[in-house]
Amino acid sequence: MSAELEELYQSIILDHNRRPQNFRVMEDASGHADGLNPLCGDQVTVWIKLDGDRVADVSFQGQGCAISKASASLMTQAVKGKTLAETQAIFDRFHAMVTGQGAEGITGGMKALSGVSKFPLRVKCASLGWHAMKAALDNAAP
């Protein structure tokens, strides 16, 4: 098996795929949005609760490959408790990393997603939950 593949399916990814964090419906969300990849049928819904300028809570549900599920799970961990400006910065760093523009400023479990950049076809999988999170923020009524 190639080293690239080892890097793609790191144990952190497999753990988050098997036991995704914040994998639940949120009843009292400020906003939510769906993400859909018509190519492979992957589908995700992200809920967000705002407390002023801060992401008080974030959750997701859906079905998808290990990369999309783990990435959405890591996303919820990365942005929970962050301000809107911090969330945007994290999103930008994530996007730069998976599109191969470097992993500068990436911390924690999100580092495990760096392997995606070697597989351009999987960037869409990894981004699905992140784009839904952004859309949920746009929809959110404070």
Partner 1 sequence: MNPLAILRKDCERPIVNIDDFSLLDERDHLHYLDSAATTQKPRAVLQAMQSYYEQHNANPHRGAYELSAQSTEAYERSRKRIARFLGVADVDTLIFTRGTTESLNVLATAWGRANVKAGDRIVVTRMEHHANFVPWQQLALAVGAEFVIAELAPGGVLDLDHLAQCCTPNTKVVAFGQVSNALGTINPVSEIVRIARTTGALVVCDGAQGVPHFDAAVDALGVDAYVFSGHKMLGPMGIGGLVVRREILEAMPPYQFGGDMIALVGDERSTWNVLPHKFEAGTPNVAGAVGLAAAAQYLDGIGMSRVRAHEAALLAYTTARLTEVPGVTVLGPPPERRSGVVSFVLDEVHPHDIAQVLDSAGVCVRSGHHCAQPLMRALKVSATTRASFYVYNDADDVDALIVALLTTRDRMGLA
The contact set with partner 1 (CB under 8 A) reads: 1-2, 4-5, 8-9, 11, 14, 18, 39-43, 63-67, 69, 119, 122, 125
Q: 104: left (phi > 0), else alpha (psi -120 to 50), else beta? A: beta
Q: How far is the CB of 46 from partner 1 (least distance, A)?
A: 18
Complex with partner 1: residue 42 or 57, whichever CB lies closer:
42
Q: Are strands 42-51 and 31-37 parallel, antiparallel or unpaired?
A: antiparallel
Of 5 and 89, nearer to partner 1 (C-beta) is 5
DSSP, residue by residue, 37-87: ETTTTEEEEEEEEEETTEEEEEEEEEE--HHHHHHHHHHHHHHTT-BHHHH
User: Minimum Å distance from CB 72 to partner 1?
Assistant: 13
- Smallest gap from residue 104 Cβ to partner 1 (A): 26
Which is nearer to partner 1, 9 or 86 (by Cβ)? Answer: 9
